[in-house]
Amino acid sequence: MKICIFEDEGYQNLYPLSLTRPVFELKCGQVTLRERILRNFPTVDTSYFMREYLTPAFSQDKKEVSVNEMEALKREDVFFINGRWLLSKGELSLTGEEEIGICGEETLYLRATTKTIKDCFSLNFREFIDSLKQKLKKKEVKARMITYPWDLINNNCWALEQDFEFPVKEGIQGKLPCSATIYGEKDRVFVAKSATIQPLVLLDSTKGSIYIDEEAIVFAHSHIKGPSYIGKKSQILGANIGEGISIGPLCRVGGEVEETIMHGFTNKAHRGFFGHSYLGEWINIGALCTNSDIKNDYSTVQVYVKGEFKDSEATKVGSFIGDHTKLGIGCLLNTGTVIGVGSNVVTAGKVLPKFIPSFTWYLNGRFYKGYGLKQIIETARVVMSRRKVTMSPEEVKVLEKAFKISKKEREKLIEKSKR
Partner 1 sequence: MSAEERVKKIVIQQLKAREDEATSEARFVQDLGAESIDSIELMAAFEAEFDIEIPPEEGERVQAVGEAVEYIEKKLKEKDFSHKD
Give the whole-angstrom CA distance, residue 18 versus residue 188.
Answer: 33
Answer for the pair 23, 6: CB distance below 8 angstroms, yes or no. Answer: no
Cα–Cα distance for residue pair 330/314, rounded to 1 Å: 26
As measured in angstroms, the least distance from the Cβ of 239 to partner 1 is 29
CA distances for 221 relative to 200, 203, 260, 339, angstroms: 5, 10, 20, 31
Choice between 115 and 350, CB closer to partner 1: 350
- Cα angle: 243, vertex 246, 250; to 5 degrees: 135
Nearest distance from C-beta of residue 412 to partner 1, angstroms = 15
Minimum CB distance to partner 1 smaller for 306 or for 374: 374
125-152 burial string, b = 16+ CB within 10 Å, else e? beebbebbeeebeeeebebbbbebbbbb
- Closest distance between partner 1 and the C-beta of residue 286, in Å? 13
| Single-letter code of the amino acid located at 345 | V
Q: Least separation, in Å, of the C-beta of 400 and partner 1?
A: 15
CB of 350: closest distance to partner 1 in angstroms? 15
Interaction site with partner 1 (CB under 8 A): 346, 361, 363-364, 366, 368-372, 374-375, 417-418
Q: Which is nearer to partner 1, 229 or 359 (CB)?
A: 359
Minimum CB distance to partner 1 smaller for 60 or for 364:
364
Closest to partner 1 by CB, 109 or 367: 367
Q: List all residues 6 or more positions away from 391 whose beta carbon is below 8 Å from its beta carbon.
A: 377, 380, 381, 384
Between residues 211 and 361, which has the closer beta carbon with respect to partner 1? 361
Q: Are 266 and 233 in contact (CB under 8 A)?
A: no
175-185 as b/e: b if 16+ CB within 10 A: ebeeebebebe
Minimum distance, C-beta of residue 401 to partner 1, in the bound complex (Å): 18
